[in-house]
Amino acid sequence: MEVAAAKMIGAGIACIALVGAGIGIGNVFGSYLSGALRNPGAAQGQFANLLIGFALCEATGLIGFVVAMIILFVF
């Protein structure tokens, strides 16, 4: 029984990864907007980099999700 309870707690703790992902995604879009408002002409050219940065940040949060799923369903 203790193992089942510890699994639940561990899966919950794995969700802390979302803190980093949230900060990262906020940083990506915030920096893009502040840059784009200063120099709107260059904004369109950096849109692809914005999407790459967003996807890279989001992936770190999802790795936390994968850890939670592995804790819950694999062990």
Site residues, other proteins (CB under 8 A) = 48, 51-52, 54-56, 58-59, 62-63, 65-66, 69, 73
Whether residue 54 contacts residue 25, with contact meaning beta carbons closer than 8 Å, is answered with: yes
CB-wise, 73 or 75, nearer to other proteins? 73
* Residue 27 C-beta: closest distance to other proteins, Å: 18
Closer to other proteins by CB, 36 or 54: give it: 54
23 or 52: whose CB is closer to other proteins?
52
Q: Give min distance, CB of 72 to other proteins, in A.
A: 9
Whole-angstrom distance, CA of residue 20 vs CA of residue 9: 19
Q: Can you tell me which residue has the tokens 């990506």?
A: 28
d(CA 48, CA 50): 5
Other Cβ atoms closer than 10 A to 54: 15
